[in-house]
Amino acid sequence: MDPLFYGVAIPAVLLLGLSKSGFASGFGSMAVPLMAMAVSVPTAAAILMPILLVLDLMGLRAYRKDIDKALLRWLVPCSLAGVFLGYLSFKSLDTQTVSAIVGASTLLFLAQRIFWPSAKLLSQPSQRTGVVLSIASGFTSFMAHAGAPPINAYLLGLNLAPIRFASTLAVLFFWVNLVKWIPYAGLGLLHTGNMLTALTLMPFAPIGIYVGVYLTKRMRPTVFYRLVHGAMFLTGCKLLWDGLS
């Protein structure tokens, strides 16, 4: 019932919705750090699990016809391997370290695209690069629901149409977040108190995703990708700050 909690939790859920729509993809990675101002990181991650499931289902409904099936055939298993690595590391690696790594990596990826656009690592990414980044995405998704920055760094280099970009991410993270329920339950994070709190926040989930889907389908690719870059920059700064503070 702490007002501070809802003061940070409601904006966090709205950011998740925007991120799940594909619009401002990456902002969802700020949800757990934002909520961590009021509760522990594991508690924040657990409360967001049911909300993520609802948002994933809404994203699938909106984007199911525009996915890149060829990409998903190998992105999904690689990301799930990262989830398994996250589970193995959960008790030995603190979330501050993970936040710092994800934040620094996100800013480096973004700097490469802006200042060295001809470099082939991410401007013309290979499937090998995609495998590494999708595993990293699954890992950081498990640790702090921060899976978007690594996979965004790969998908941006493919120059997909905005609707295909958003659709592919929606399906990828549906499977990643669905599988995460099993280890989260095993770690004792999905108890009644967290689930009831998630239910209280649930009405705010559709707002962000509906606004994001509306804008994604009507926005020019140039503007869309500028917003994605902006989201990655703010997310990277926030995660790096949380990791180093």
The per-residue pLDDT for range 48-81, each reduced to its tens digit, is 999 988 888 877 777 777 889 999 999 999 999 9
Q: How many CA atoms lie within 13 A of 146 on its CB side?
A: 35
Quote the strand ranges of the chain, DSSP E. none
Separation between Cα atoms, residue 150 and residue 176, nearest integer Å: 14
- The pLDDT, as a whole number, for residue 100 is 79
The pLDDT value recorded for residue 219 is: 73
pTM for this structure?
A: 0.75
Residue that has been written with the tokens 């996250």 in this structure: 86
Residues in the chain: 245
* List of the chain residues with pLDDT < 50: none
116: which DSSP letter?
Answer: -
